Amino acid sequence: MIIRVSELEEAGLTVDDPAAVGSPYADPSWQLDRVRLLVQPDGVDVIVRGRLSASTPQICSRCLDSFPATVHAEVDVRLVPRPASASSVELGEDDLNVDFYADDRLDLSALIATETTLALPMKPLCRPDCRGLCPRCGANRNITACACSSRSPDPRLAVLARRSGRLHDNN
């Protein structure tokens, strides 16, 4: 969804229909579920605020099972006109929520894709109590209980274990 910045009214534009945005994602497995954004002009800048929800398949970082995940993103971004040359771009500490638009065109779809992607968890879990995979046999502990010992000794400490055994034998 492309918005002409010069055509934005002072009251702004409310976007609350995912169908109006279309599919902002390059990956067809992503789906935009909800969008509620207010796009307001602020001089030559544009402020976009609101909430997004999207769903996408994820792989659990503990058990490696695929699961559907819902991503919620809070949006609070200031978009400024892209400078003519890259050498004139200097962002400060307070500019983490700043992005650019070019040629009087704001690509709202790209903004939505970026914000929802950034909201993905770094270590997705299929559920908070996921037990993961057994490090010895590889069984999914959520599905089956394996007969492996709960903790294997660290091979780097084997020398100490042998030495400790000799000390006990001498006493």
The stretches of 14-157 forming alpha helices (DSSP H) are: 18-21, 108-118
Q: Identify which has the larger pLDDT, 130 or 20.
A: 130
pLDDT band at 20 (very low <50, low <70, confident <90, very high): confident
Task: Name the pTM for this structure.
Answer: 0.72
Domain borders along the chain are 2-118, 132-171
Give the model's pLDDT for residue 59: 95
What are the tens digits of pLDDT across the range 87-138?
555 666 565 567 777 787 888 888 899 899 989 999 999 999 999 998 888 8
Give the model's pLDDT for residue 58: 94
Least confident of 34-43, 50-59, 83-92: 83-92
Give the model's pLDDT for residue 2: 81
| Residue-by-residue DSSP string for the chain | -EEEGGG--TT-EEE--HHHH----SSTT-EEEEEEEEEEEETTEEEEEEEEEEEEEEE-TTT--EEEEEEEEEEEEEEEEPPSSGGG----GGGTTEEEEBTTEEEHHHHHHHHHHHTS-SS--SSTT---B-TTT--BTTT----S-S-PPPGGGHHHHHHHHHHHHH-
